[in-house]
Amino acid sequence: MTFDYTKIGSAGDIVVIEMLGEELGIAVKHVREVLMPQQIHTLPGAPDFIEGVINLRGKSIIIMDMRKRFKVAANKSFHNRILICQIKHYIIGLIVDAVKDVVDLANKSVDPKPDLLNNFSESDCIDGVVRIGKRVIILLNLDTVLNKDEANLLSGMVK
């Protein structure tokens, strides 16, 4: 299901993160909280983009490195953050390079994903592009960041 980024008010807000020097937007409806980096416990046999699991107030939360998910080398820095997000019926932590701000997309120009990207399965999680002045923010659809096999694998890792 694609999130309608053109809705008015808080439903159209996005959290802007930084990855690889680019700005990416995630619908606020997905984001539960932002954490500072913390100890992550390794899960043997997990896909390489899964860093492991953290204990968050008595619950085990799987942590996914978004750089590794997009097949780019991990980058540990002071600015890294963990976004605790709801993706479909999973609560998962996403390691991102930085969290920049929250933007209201009401009255903003949102362009669809460029047609050329439809040929690449890795671009399934890109919904569109928004331009705000000189800023260009790529809109991510977290519901499609994991394919069906990956989601099934993760569902069996932590209950």
Mean pLDDT of 119-139: 77
Residue 106: φ, ψ to 5°: -55, 135
Q: How many CB atoms lie within 10 A of CB 43?
A: 17
Residue range 9-157, CATH number: 2.40.50.180
Q: How far apart are CA 61 and CA 91, in angstroms?
A: 7
Task: Quote the pLDDT of residue 6.
Answer: 43
Residue 154 in this model has a pLDDT that exceeds 50 = yes
- pLDDT tens, residue by residue, 45-76: 888 889 999 999 999 999 999 888 887 777 77
- pLDDT tens, residue by residue, 26-35: 999 999 999 9
Average of per-residue pLDDT values in the chain: 81
Residue 90 in this model has a pLDDT that exceeds 60 = yes
Residue 10 in this model has a pLDDT that exceeds 70 = no
Task: Quote the pLDDT of residue 64.
Answer: 92
Q: Where are the domains of the chain?
A: 9-157
